[in-house]
Chain A
């Protein structure tokens, strides 16, 4: 569910959330997690319209349920240059993809655990302290083993 290729620390300067969502969807596409990037991105943006997924604490969790998702995934991005995401300043982005047809209980359990961890200040601090993509991945991938 957490794959190295889609866990990054980035120096890139993004203009808005659409750009980030599209960038992460590209990564997920290249990693073989989705079959149709366009329709996945549409699902995510539709969800954003309902209510922003910037949850505070510099974290955003865009997500979409779509037939275009092959495998449950979380694309994780830490930005060295924070971005304005609706009302919030954000630099930690976790973009979640869940297949519409086959919800996997184990995956949902891990997503729930990630969600709960993001509320914990010490876990967020660990993420903020991770300077490289490797270190960032190490912080996140432990969740899969718990």
Chain B
């Protein structure tokens, strides 16, 4: 199982990085491959490359705002492999969101 994600919140100060950590921890616990891009106060970090996205089984967009490079996920969107949720939801309950991603 490979999960890629983007985390971004309104101010880019806190929720972005909490969501990143929450997703990474949960994936690590399950022994999944993962990569989480952040778009926050420090700009884009850990940017997802085309290969990363193409090889992913599921995409989680934990975003409260419009993000840069949303078009990268169009193909996955068409395949029904994208979950879009508010960062605060994944922070509170990462296990549930990863369960959902697993079932896509």
What is A's interface to B at a CB cutoff of 8 Å? 47, 50-53, 55-56, 61, 63, 65, 96, 98, 103, 105, 108-109, 111-116, 118-120
Contacts and interface: CB of A to CB of B under 8 A. Distances in A.
B91 A55 contact: yes
Contacts of A111: 13-14, 17, 41
Contacts, number: 66
Contacts of A61: 14
Closest 8 CB pairs of A and B: A115-B17, A56-B92, A116-B21, A119-B21, A112-B17, A108-B41, A115-B14, A115-B18
Interface size class of B (residues with CB under 8 A): 20 to 34
Interface in B1-24: 10-11, 13-18, 20-22
A47 B13 CA distance: 12
Contacts of B17: 111-113, 115-116
B88 A51 contact: yes
